[in-house]
Amino acid sequence: MTPEQLEKERKASLDRQRRQLEKAAAERLAQEKTDNAKVLTRAQRLKLRDDEYVPPQD
């Protein structure tokens, strides 16, 4: 392998590794957003339910 080919392979490897890390970070961020949306305390769920309650019209 020539030094030029070796340098090209190194750059390609670094590029693949960077893309893989970016993809993992994006997936982790997406997972955190969905996890945070699911975690509500009982009091928070009750408040949401009470806030949505519309009394019947007489």
Torsion sign across C-alpha atoms 31, 36, 40, 44: negative
pLDDT computed for residue 5 by the predictor: 95
Tell me the H-state helices in the chain: 3-38, 42-52
Contact in structure between 48 and 40 (CB atoms under 8 Å)? yes
Residue-wise pLDDT for 41-50, tens only, equals 888 888 888 8
| Confidence (pTM) | 0.52
pLDDT computed for residue 55 by the predictor: 73
pLDDT computed for residue 50 by the predictor: 81
Residue-wise pLDDT for 10-19, tens only, equals 999 999 999 9
